[in-house]
Structure 1
Amino acid sequence: MKKQELIHLHGLLAEVGNYYEQRENEDIPLDEYEELGVRPTSIHKSKTDHKAAVFALAGGITSTMHGEETEDAVPASAD
């Protein structure tokens, strides 16, 4: 994947994360992503930096969504 394509993917994932946070009114824990200091607008950063940011961002989004699925799948106790 070219650097420009990776930056585009990075921007799209950032939008997905923002949309999810607004829709669910819940923050996605992105500590690993924040520590990298690479944003979609950081075009001067290397391809490797953007790749790490994409993986960190995608991991944060999917783990939050997976936690939500798990909570929804737990049946309520019949008391």
Structure 2
Amino acid sequence: MKKQELIHLHGLLAEVSNYYDQNAAEDVDLDEYEDLGVRPTSIHKSKTDHKAAVFALAGGITSTMATEDEEESEAVPASAD
């Protein structure tokens, strides 16, 4: 993946995180992401820094969603068309 594409993905994940923070009952754990100090607008940072930020951001979002799913586990019946 090119650096420009990685920065774009970083920006999209940041938007998902912001949306989730505003609309979810639980806050997204972004401690690891915040510690990196790399934002989508940090275009001077290296590709490796953005890659680490993307993984940290995605990890925080998915772990929060998984925790929320465990709390709200509701059986959904399978259906066929």
Common fold by TM > 0.5: yes
Percentage identity across paired residues of the two chains? 79
In terms of fraction of residues, the more helix-rich structure is: 1
**CA RMSD of the aligned region, Å?**
1.4
Other-structure match for 2:27: 27
Paired positions, count: 75
Q: Which amino acid aligns with 1:61?
A: I
The secondary structure found in structure 2 opposite 1:73 is: coil
Retained in 1: the 8 A contact 2:26–2:68? no
Q: Which residue of 1 aligns with 2:78?
A: none
Give structure 2 stretches of 5+ with no counterpart.
76-81
Measure, in 2, the Cα distance between the counterparts of 1:71 and 1:26: 11
Aligned to 2:61: 61
Q: TM-score, normalised by structure 2?
A: 0.87
Unaligned ranges ≥5, structure 1:
none
